[in-house]
Amino acid sequence: MGARRPWAWPLVPLYAAAIGVKDALRGAGMLKVRRLRRPVVSVGSISAGGAGKTPVVISLAKMLQARGWDVDVLSRGYGRRRAGMEPEPVQTGVADPARFYGDEPVLIAKRTGVAVWVYGDRYLAGSRAEVNASRDQAMHLLDDGFQHRQLARNFDVVLVTAEDLDDRLMPAGNLREGFDALRRADAVVVREDELEDVKERAWKLMREGAQMWVVRRKLVFPAPLLVFTAGLRPVAFCALARPEGFQAMLTEAGCGVVETIAFPDHHAYAMDDIERILEIGRQLNATGFVTTEKDNVKLTKAMCDRLETLGPVMVVGLEAEFADADAVVNALEARLGVTGERRA
C-alpha cells in the first residue's frame, strides 16, 4: 500500500521524531505514569481507526463478566459534541446519548450493560469508577488505550490487521506508531479471515512470550428476515474508519446493497445527511437502508422515520468472537494472579 496522503510525506519524519522524544522521556522516567487500584487491561491498536477495537472490548467485557469479574470500561468518548467537566458514566436512556458520550461508549454500554466512564483523563475516570466498585474482583477495560501510556496497565491487548501491516506512519498513513511498538503488546489480536496473511508477519514484530489471539468477526442481522430485512436492493450508509470492510462483509453475507454511502468516522448525522441518503435511495430504486449499530446510536427517531418513508432501516451488529475464549480469559487472569479457586 502506498501512502494514503502522499503530500504529507515530508511531515512523517517530524511525527516519528515526536514519538521518539516521548519514548525517550518515558525511558528516563520524566513522564508521569499513574496507576489505579484495580487492574487495567488495555485494548488498542497501532492504527488511527478501523481495527475493530469496539467489538473486541464488548466481547472481553462479556467474557470477563461470565467469569465473575465486575468490569467497567474507561473511554475518552471520541467524537462527542459535549465534553463533560468531570468523568461521567454513560446514560443510554437520555435523548441523543452519542452527543453527550460518543458513539462507541454508548454502543459498548448498550451491548454489555457495564458502566462505561467517559473522560479525556482516563486515570480520573478510573478513580471515579473505583469509588462505585462494590467487589474486590473488579477490573477496568481501557478502550483505545495503547497510546494512553500515562495510565499504567497490567495487560496490553493490541489489534493488528493486514491493512495495518501495509500502512505508513501518520500523517501520510494511518499508523499512530511504528511496528516496533508491537513489542509492548502482551497479546496481539488478528482476524481469522486474515490469519494466513498476517500471522507470520505479526509474529516477527512481537516480543518473545507475547500471545496471538484469533477473532472471528460476523455480522448479525435482525430476525426474522435477516439479510432481507431491508429488501433486495438496500442502500448502506455508515460513518466508519474503513467503510469498505462493512460493504465487503454485507456482500459476503448475501445482502445485495446497491450503493454504500460513507461518512467520516464518528460523523454526527444531521437531517441534511438523511435527505442526501434518502435521495440516493430514490434514485437507485432502493427498497430500504442498512447501517451499523455504531451509526444507529446517532440517529434520532425523526431521522429514522424520514428514511422509512422509502423503506425499512436495517441495523446490523458486528460481533467479535475469540477462537479460544477460555485461553484468553485464562491468560488475563494468570497475569492478574487470579486462580479458579480464588474465583470460586
pLDDT of residue 198: 97
Residues 6+ away with beta carbon under 8 Å from 93: none
Per-residue pLDDT tens for 112-131? Answer: 999 999 999 999 999 999 98
Which residue type does 219 have?
A: L
What phi, psi does 61 have (nearest 5°)?
Answer: -60, -45
- C-alpha cell belonging to residue 63: 467474557
Residue 109's alpha-carbon distances to 40, 66, 229, in angstroms, are: 18, 16, 25
Per-residue pLDDT tens for 268-301? Answer: 999 999 999 999 999 999 999 999 999 999 999 9
According to DSSP, residue 258 is labeled S
pLDDT of residue 83: 66
pLDDT of residue 154: 97
Residue ranges of the chain whose pLDDT lies below 50: 340-344
Residue 193, classed as helix, strand or coil, is helix
8 A C-beta contact, residue 182 and residue 203: no
CATH number of the domain located at residue range(s) 219-320 in this protein: 3.40.50
pLDDT of residue 340: 46
Place of cell 492478574: 336
Place of cell 494511518: 174
CATH architecture entry for 6-216+322-343: 3-Layer(aba) Sandwich (3.40)
Domain boundaries, the chain: 6-216+322-343, 219-320
pLDDT of residue 339: 54
pLDDT of residue 344: 36
Q: What's the pTM?
A: 0.95
Strands 138-143 and 155-159: unpaired
Q: How big is the CA angle at 55 (ends 264 and 289), to the nearest 5 degrees?
A: 50
pLDDT of residue 3: 76
Assess whether the region 6-216+322-343 and the region 219-320 belong to the same CATH fold. Answer: yes
